[in-house]
Each structure stands twice: as structure tokens, then as C-alpha cells.
Amino acid sequence: MTRLWNEPADFADEMIEGFVAANGRYVRRVTGGVVRSTVVPAGQVAVVIGGGSGHYPAFGGLVGQGLAHGAAMGNLFASPSTQQITSVAKAADAGGGVFFSYGNYAGDVLNFDAAQERLREAGIPCETVTVTDDIFSADPSEAHKRRGIAGDLTVFRIAAAAAERGEDLTGVTALAARANARTRSFGVAFTGCTLPGAESPLFSVPEGRMAVGLGIHGEPGIDETDIPTADGLAELLVEKLLAEVPEGVDVAGARVVPILNGLGSLKYEEMFVVYRRIAQLLEDAGAVIVDPHVGEYCTSFDMAGTSLTLFWLDAELEDLWETPVDTPAYRRGSVVAAAQRADTTDVAREAAAAIPDADGASRAAAATVLAAVETIVATVDAHVDELGRIDAIAGDGDHGIGMQRGSHAALAAATTAQRAGAGAQTTLERAADAWSDKAGGTSGALWGVILTEIAGKLGDTGTPDATSVAAGVAAGSTGVTDYGKAEVGDKTLVDALVPFTTELTRAVDAGDTLVDAWRSAAAAATTAAAATADLLPRMGRARSHGQHSVGTPDPGAISLALIVTAVGETLARRQGELT
């Protein structure tokens, strides 16, 4: 369990502050994460990694000479936001473009892709390779859907070594993709992990049992079995990984880097006992072991568990693997120390834009927007524990916390804007940007899209009418499906959002008032959200857990239904500012 914290909501920020204070020779803090504190050669490709906090030494601990140039660090188990990633990438860029790599999780993909688009628009070339090493999270035929676990180290190292060697962005990307294709991982756990302030672990394993095929975000295992002996565990790990070697690899004579990774609470001594048998089994199979790793490389907070990664080398990858590395948490070979940067100013965060002019009607509507955001906050606060409980069934249990972070940030931004005389559009746009930035993760990105699209139809002049609001909701729904790629039936927020949008548009087109149309649409969303209990997940972290989530509704769909229902009552109380 986690024992030491101040305010749980401040834990990640305070952790990063302490990490930087302890490792100033390697890293400096910038908005959204950390970058190297040493001089980077002009024109070198910047390797930017990232993900949620709670996985130390991933991701900040791997920033330094020979490895990453920067790490975007989200909240605990939550993807960094688009704004955070963009900020870190700009600070890390040395003129050679930015290469992104991270685990293949929905929130990370959404936010890194959006950041990549922003950077390209700003003239900074970018490329990406997502890490997909976990063999238990999808069949080989759908390897592109697999999640990234401890195998991220091999991809990060090869990409950074290629950058160090002077490869351009295309070359770095190609070598990283080859490393990913030749990396396989498989993990088990004996206990779940407990986030700061939480009363219980995100999942539990019965005494004497072991979760098989778990992720690194507190997701429960895909299977369960009795705890074997140390040798029995080694045999299970090796058997599973040797059953799926990369195409073109003949195990007999192949050179392989084994990485036995501790997930947070497993003792090193235990891992050494397990590794003893892993080494025997690999040698018996004819593999040649190169540079074995036993330790913590990608943890899951305080989870007791381990994963085995096998990285199958070729001549070029092995040469790159030998590149010296010096970071706060990972060192290999001897690195000639680079000079410290003289300029440590964080210039990545752009100044807040001025409040656009608005007329009296739109400022009156902005008061209703603010009241709606206040309602969202109150609704999320009232249901935060239940949303987390639902999410923990087949996910990582942080949906309620993420919604709480995002909505509170949105309220603060909306309040500031409205008090400064903003109209309805600007007030909601500021709320949307703050929500996506502070919440991170999938829900933060998607709620940012929804609110931004609605804002765009409200305008900063005149009183928004029902048609404008319905058009904004429809644009938000389209934005979510285009952005997140989910469809109705995938067991996501979309399963409630699309029925809400469809009914709202129908009712408004039929001549209903906004209040009446919104209420009927909220009822449709509520019904649809409840029906997600019968669905198998096809998107997001819950996808890997299949039947575990049947009987439990999707937390994103439920939170949306709760919010639109409550906002409907707020609109009813404030009829007049919106027509």
C-alpha cells in the first residue's frame, strides 16, 4: 500500500518536483514533464517518451544522455495531456524533429497524436512508434492492438541510440519500429496496487493465486492461476514467449536480451531466483543471452508482480544497444558528460490569449455556461467513488479521479474567463482547454473535444439558440468518433453520446425548446449508458479483459449520462440566457 502523501491530487506534481530536485545533473523541469538538463547537439532528433506517472523509472527516470531527451509525465496512471506533450516536445526539440514513443493505450494515443498534429502545424516534424510488446493483450493477428509494458525500454533505447548516432527522423523511426517488432513481453502479479489516498487496491488476487497477463495501470489480469514455484514461474514466462518469437528469428543461435522487470513490490532477491531458471531455459533452447537485465524498469506503483521481456537482436540492433546511457535510473557503459545547459528557462508554455470582445447577450449566456460547469463539478464530485469502482472492474479505476481533476480545472478556467467579461464561446473554450490539460487520459481528451466543439457554435455575440447548441453537440459527437475511433457498441462514452446527440437533434428539429429537447436526450443517454453493461468492450484498456466487464456499465458512458441529466436541470432553472 502507499503510505506517504500530502494531498492525493498533488502527488504526481510533488513527486516530479522532488525527482527533479534530486536529479538536476540529468533533468530540468518544464511544463508537462522533464527534459535533459545537458546540452544536446544541434540538429539531433529529440526522443520524447511519456505516459502516466506511477511507473518509475518510466518515464522521467529514463531521460538523459544516450536515452530520452524528454518525458511528458501525466498524472498517476493517466496519459499526459496534449498540452503537456506539446510543451515537452518544444522544449526538447534541437532542430532535428521529434520522435515520440509510448505504450499503446487509448489516452496516450489520442493525446500524443493531437500533440503531433500541433507540432507539425508549428513546423516541427514528428514521427511516432507505439510500443506493443504485451503478447497477452491481443492475438498475433491483431498485434497492432497490443499494449506496451516493460518492452518500452528496448524501443526507447534503440530510438535514442539511433539519434545519438546521427540518424535522421526517418532513420530513428525505422529502427525503433524494428526494435518494437522484435520485442515480446508477458507479466504476472500477486497483488494489485493502491494509489495515494485510496482505501483499497485497484484489484485484488485471492490468497495463493496469481493474476496472469496483467497491464501496468492496475488493470486486473486476463487469467488467474495458482502461484507456482520460482522455477515454475520462470518456465511459464519462457514458454509463453518462446511460443511467439518474431518472424525470421530462429531461437537456436539467436541473440536475445532478457529483461526481468519488477512491478513495484517484488524483491530483487526473488527475481534473481526466478532469473536463474530463465537463463537456464533460454540457454537450453539454444539462445545466446546478451546483457541480461533484472530490476525495476517499468513499475505499476506498488504492485507485487513481474514481467519478462525478450528482445531479439540483429547485428545493427545489438550495435545500437551498446550505446552508453546515463540517466537518473538507468546507466550502461561510460558516457562522456555533456555540459549543463546555461539557459534553463521553460519557454514552452505560451502566454494566455486575451479575452475576445463579447456583447451583453453573450456575456449573459456565459453565466449559464459557468452554471453548467458548476453543475458538472457537483455531479462528478457526488459520484467520483462509484465511477472509480466501475472503472476498476476491467480498467485502472481512475475514471472518477480523472473526471474530477478535469472538471475542477474547467470550472476554475471558466470562472476566470467569465469574470473577465468573456462571452459564452470563450468561457466554454477556456473550460475545455483546462479540462483536457489537467485531466489527461482518454476522458480528458474526449471531454476537451466535446466542449470545444459546443463552444464553437455558441459564439461571443448574441444569445445561442437551441439549434446552435444542438449543432455544437453534434459536432462534438463527430469529433469524438473521428478522434477516438470508437463506434456505438464498443462500450465507451460514445454509446451514450451518440444517442444523446441523435435525440437532441431530432427534438430541436421538431420544434421543442432547448430544455425539453435536452431532457429527452438525457433520458436517451441514461438508457443507453445502462445498456452498456451487456456489451463486451472493443476499445480502451477494458478491451483485453472481455468477460470481466460484462454486467458492469461503461464508466465513461455513465458519467456522461449523469452529467447531461444534471445539466438539463440547470438549463431549466436558467431559461432565458439560452433560447
With helix as H, strand as E and coil as C, how does 68-116 read? ECEEEEEEECCCCCHHHHHHHHHHHCCCCCEEEEEECCHHHHHHHHHHH
Contact 58, 73 (CB under 8 A): no
The residue from 55, 69, 144, 217 that is catalytic is 217
Output Rg (C-alpha) for the chain, integer angstroms: 24
Catalytic (active site) residue 217? yes
Contact 50, 74 (CB under 8 A): yes
Which of 302-311 are b and which e, b meaning 16 or more Cβ less than 10 Å from the residue's Cβ?
Answer: bbbbbbbbbb
Q: Is 362 exposed, middle or buried (0-12, 13-18, 19+ CB in 10 A)?
A: buried
Contact 159, 46 (CB under 8 A): no
Find the helix or strand (DSSP H, E) in which 48 lies.
strand 46-53
Phi, psi of 249 (to 5 degrees): -95, 125
| Polymer length of the chain | 579
Strand order in the sheet with 33-36: 27-30, 33-36, 70-76, 46-53, 98-103, 126-131
CA atoms within 13 A on the CB side of 278: 30
Instruction: Find the Cα–Cα–Cα–Cα dihedral 4, 34, 78, 478, rounded to 10°.
Output: 160
Contact 48, 89 (CB under 8 A): yes
The C-alpha cell 537482436 sits at 313
The Cα 133–Cα 76 span in angstroms is 22
Contact 184, 147 (CB under 8 A): no
The Cα 448–Cα 409 span in angstroms is 12
- Beta-bridged to residue 188, according to DSSP, are 212, 306
Annotated catalytic residues are 217
